[in-house]
């Protein structure tokens, strides 16, 4: 019966409102006192029933809730025959709860949109060679699936055949379609805008990136910050204190109506709901923009970050080295380029891939007697020629003469922050290449935004040589830059900053920088949805888009600020109402409940502003 009554709260609210209108109309217009009293009495009784049930349920678990205060106040008003106020208070309380639920549902809309994007079915290749539609839960790792234009990708997988464009907004927050072909990775919950592809399932169900995103966002919304935990403790003692205050006022003044009014006015509803609604709205905004904020504790710490430390490769830079400078010496350069390409084709070093891309089409020759020189490069025999590819130290070791022109070019390339690759054929320098990782487009402007948002120190840590690091640092205007750092050196540096009392955020790619991500106050992963990034960090930029970082920090600051605003509004309203009881003659239960419910709506609407937050 209790469950049935509580499920009909909205209908009870509507009937109660109609009866109150009938009651006041009968009294003021038709001058029928009997009908007016009957309507208000019935409105009071049916209105207080769901509130009393909630109060009873709270008392069973030894909690003095707001419902307990309102129930006592309404019953007291009813027995002193103040039927107008008992009816109005119950209606306003129920109607306020209805509006709260409506607006709170809107704050969770971003998460609801995410869950609605979850795929429900898939076209699975069966043993008879035909594709049949099955529930997504029936798909196992290794199954082959067919995805047609307009369909959702059902699992995380790899494209086997076909090609097309996929909208990955549900994962990355970026609506521009991404081209996919054989060998490309695809994510569950994304949409194939055009084309037809077959994929093999790599991860299914809750193990997919999409499943983990939903799980993490839901966990984040349920997590509580220090402010929320304080408010929970405060409410636990505050609500019984209001009840005791009401009893004391009645014992001293013998004014039951004053005591009942204090119970209504002292309800801490806006205080209890103000911080959670800000938290939910802030996390929802982040989810819409491809930013995972793992809970309100993270939001609080992130909003106070003073120092932001960046990994270089893949964070401030694109992560794909390219040949940016080159100089040739002597003749037969085309032959030398072919020898260089032949040697580099045998290597999987990132610099080698950059060189092959730059050389393009050429004539390859068989490579023999390959010898890798640690810290130097590669020696090999190509088409009966001795070829050495590597740094200056290797050239000097092999006795390759470097004239003034070559040394001047080497110095110039190094000053520009390049990694040098020299190629010698039969002991004669032929090719000098400068390879450099390109700075991400727009990073300099994004770093300026972070400074405007209050980040005092921008620090770069990298495994590259100090000269390369200094060039990047100077171009970006960083506070500090340190090169030749191993992962353990980076985490030791961050620990030193934290021990010095700074609040530190570390931004990395979530793979080799996992120790630093875990150690920093706030770990921010340029994740692209990788497992390590999602699990290790506190904040994940799902499409590795650096431009989302200022939005994430601005959102965290706006959310923390919004929480404080809501606390001030809630406390201010309660103090105003209680002052009105003792120092004015116009304050009563009905006005108090109206202001109380209005304050709850104000803090909810204030929190909902975060759903529309954009960095100015």
Which residues does the annotation mark as catalytic? Answer: 311
To which residue do tokens 């003749």 refer? 331
Residue 174 is encoded by which pair of tokens?
A: 């970026």
Beta bridge pairs of residue 158: 185, 200
How far apart are the C-alpha atoms of 472 and 481, rounded to whole Å? 9
Beta bridge pairs of residue 145: 124, 199
Cβ-contact 51, 90 below 8 angstroms: yes
DSSP 48-115: HHHHHHHHHHHHHTT---HHHHHHHHHHHHHHTT-HHHHHHHHHHHHHHHHHHHHHHHHHTHHHHHHH
How far apart are the C-alpha atoms of 208 and 137, rounded to whole Å? 12
The values of phi and psi at residue 292, to 5°, are: -95, 115
Look at residue 464 and give its three-state secondary structure. coil
How far apart are the C-alpha atoms of 129 and 123, rounded to whole Å? 12
Look at residue 408 and give its three-state secondary structure. helix
Q: Which among 217, 234, 305, 214 has a CA at the least distance from the CA of 275?
A: 234
Beta bridge pairs of residue 461: 311, 482
Q: Which among 88, 69, 57 has a CA at the least distance from the CA of 267?
A: 69
How far apart are the C-alpha atoms of 412 and 293, rounded to whole Å? 44
- Residue 562's CB is within 10 A of a number of other CB atoms, namely 24
How far apart are the C-alpha atoms of 196 and 240, rounded to whole Å? 64
How far apart are the C-alpha atoms of 306 and 297, rounded to whole Å? 17
DSSP 117-185: TS--EEEEE-TTS-EEEEEGGG--TT-EEEE-TTPBP-SEEEEEEEEEEEE-HHHHS--S-EEE-TT-E
The burial class, CB within 10 Å (0-12 / 13-18 / 19+), for 373 is middle
Q: Which CA distances in Å does 191 have to 112, 115, 117, 472, 529?
A: 17, 14, 9, 38, 16
For the chain, helix, strand, coil in percent to 5 are 55, 20, 25
């Amino acid at each position: 019966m209790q469950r049935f009554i509580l499920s009909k709260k909205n209908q009870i609210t509507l009937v109660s409102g109609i009866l109150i209108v009938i009651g006041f109309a009968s009294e003021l217009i038709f001058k029928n006192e009997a009908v007016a009293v009957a309507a208000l009495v019935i409105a009071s009784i049916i209105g207080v029933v769901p509130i009393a049930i909630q109060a009873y349920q709270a008392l069973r678990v030894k909690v003095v809730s707001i419902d307990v205060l309102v129930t006592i106040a309404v019953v007291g008003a009813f027995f002193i025959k103040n039927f107008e106020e008992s009816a109005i208070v119950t209606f306003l309380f129920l109607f306020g709860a209805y509006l709260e639920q409506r607006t709170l549902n809107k704050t969770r809309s971003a998460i609801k949109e995410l869950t609605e994007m979850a795929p429900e079915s898939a076209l699975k290749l069966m043993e008879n060679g035909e594709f049949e539609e099955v529930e997504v839960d029936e798909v196992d790792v290794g199954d082959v699936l067919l995805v047609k234009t307009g369909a959702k990708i059902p699992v995380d997988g790899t494209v086997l055949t076909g090609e097309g464009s996929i909208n990955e907004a549900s994962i990355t927050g970026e609506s521009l379609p991404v081209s996919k072909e054989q060998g490309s990775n695809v994510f569950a919950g994304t949409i194939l805008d055009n084309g037809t592809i077959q994929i093999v399932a790599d991860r299914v169900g809750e193990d997919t990136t999409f499943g983990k995103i939903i799980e993490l966002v839901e966990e984040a919304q349920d997590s509580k910050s220090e402010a929320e935990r304080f408010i929970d403790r405060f409410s636990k003692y505050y609500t019984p204190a209001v009840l005791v205050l009401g009893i004391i006022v009645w014992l001293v003044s013998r004014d039951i109506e004053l005591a009942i009014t204090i119970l209504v006015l002292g309800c801490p509803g806006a205080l209890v709901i103000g911080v959670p609604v800000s938290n939910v709205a802030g996390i929802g905004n982040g989810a819409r923009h491809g930013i995972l904020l793992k809970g309100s504790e993270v939001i609080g710490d992130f909003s106070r970050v003073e120092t932001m430390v960046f990994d270089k490769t893949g964070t401030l830079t694109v992560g794909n080295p390219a040949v940016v400078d080159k100089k040739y010496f002597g003749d037969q350069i085309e032959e030398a380029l072919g020898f260089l390409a032949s040697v580099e084709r045998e290597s999987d070093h990132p610099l080698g891939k950059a060189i092959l891309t730059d050389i393009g089409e050429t004539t390859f020759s068989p490579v023999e007697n390959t010898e890798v020189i640690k810290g130097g490069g590669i020696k090999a025999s190509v088409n009966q020629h001795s070829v050495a590819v590597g740094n200056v130290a290797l050239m000097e070791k092999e006795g390759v003469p470097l004239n003034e022109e070559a040394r001047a070019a080497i110095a110039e390339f190094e000053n520009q922050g390049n990694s040098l690759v020299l190629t010698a054929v039969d002991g004669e320098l032929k090719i000098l290449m400068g390879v450099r990782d390109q700075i991400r487009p727009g990073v300099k402007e994004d770093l300026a935004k972070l400074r405007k948002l209050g980040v005092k120190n921008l620090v770069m840590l990298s495994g590259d040589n100090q000269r390369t690091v200094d060039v990047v640092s100077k171009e970006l205007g960083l506070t500090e830059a340190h090169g030749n750092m191993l992962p353990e050196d980076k985490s030791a540096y961050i620990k030193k900053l934290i021990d010095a009392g700074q609040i530190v955020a570390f931004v990395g790619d979530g793979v080799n920088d996992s120790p630093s991500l875990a150690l920093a106050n706030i770990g921010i992963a340029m994740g692209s949805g990788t497992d390590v990034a999602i699990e290790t960090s506190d904040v994940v930029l799902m499409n590795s888009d650096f431009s989302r970082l200022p939005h994430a920090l601005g959102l965290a600051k706006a959310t923390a600020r919004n929480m404080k605003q809501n606390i001030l509004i809630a406390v201010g309203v309660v103090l105003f109402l209680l002052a009105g009881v003792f120092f004015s003659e116009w304050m009563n239960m009905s006005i108090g409940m109206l202001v109380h419910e209005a304050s709850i709506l104000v803090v909810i609407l204030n929190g909902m502003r975060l759903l529309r937050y954009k960095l100015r």
